[in-house]
Amino acid sequence: MNLKPNLDPKNTLMLAAAGGLVAMGLDAGINHFALRELKHLAQLAPVIFGPLAGGVVALLVLAGAARSAAVARGVGVLSMALGAIGTAFHLRPFVMLLEDSTLETALRIAPPLMAPGAFVALGALLVFAASPAVVVRLVSKTA
């Protein structure tokens, strides 16, 4: 195990996205289950996926694993798929509420429409940061 990980800008972006996945998984757990019952097994997906996938990517990046970029890209694609499916799950009750009530009521009662989009954004960041075609560098401009 490499005790001094290479935290170049690309690895730092992957590590940040991994932390975001863990945080989003914990947030989904709170929002899906705090003082609520499990309504659908799909509610478990972001709660399990976020911490597990984020943890795997973070450990590989910190360990300096040679395959960390390939794993990060795969996790990124899965994260984007999870977010897109989650958006569909959140959109359905919103549309059903719109049929029977006002926009204000639908916005207040329906699951948050944009929350699963965070998985899409974090997944896109992982795919971007881990792509061999992308070069990320920091430039210091001094006066």
- Confidence category of residue 122, pLDDT binned at 50, 70, 90: very high
135 within a domain of the structure (yes/no): no
143 within a domain of the structure (yes/no): no
- Dihedral angle of Cα 74, 76, 81, 85, to the nearest 10 degrees: 140
pLDDT in tens, 58-84: 999 998 888 899 999 999 999 999 999
**Domain count across the chain:** 1
52 within a domain of the structure (yes/no): yes
1 within a domain of the structure (yes/no): no
Q: H helices within the chain, ranges in order? A: 9-33, 44-63, 68-100, 103-109, 117-130
pLDDT in tens, 14-59: 999 999 999 999 999 998 888 788 888 999 999 999 999 999 999 9
DSSP 8-state symbol, 136: -
Domain that holds residue 79: 9-130
Q: Two tokens at 97?
A: 């509420």
Q: State the pLDDT at residue 127.
A: 96
Q: How far is CA 140 from CA 129, 137, 143, in A?
A: 20, 10, 10
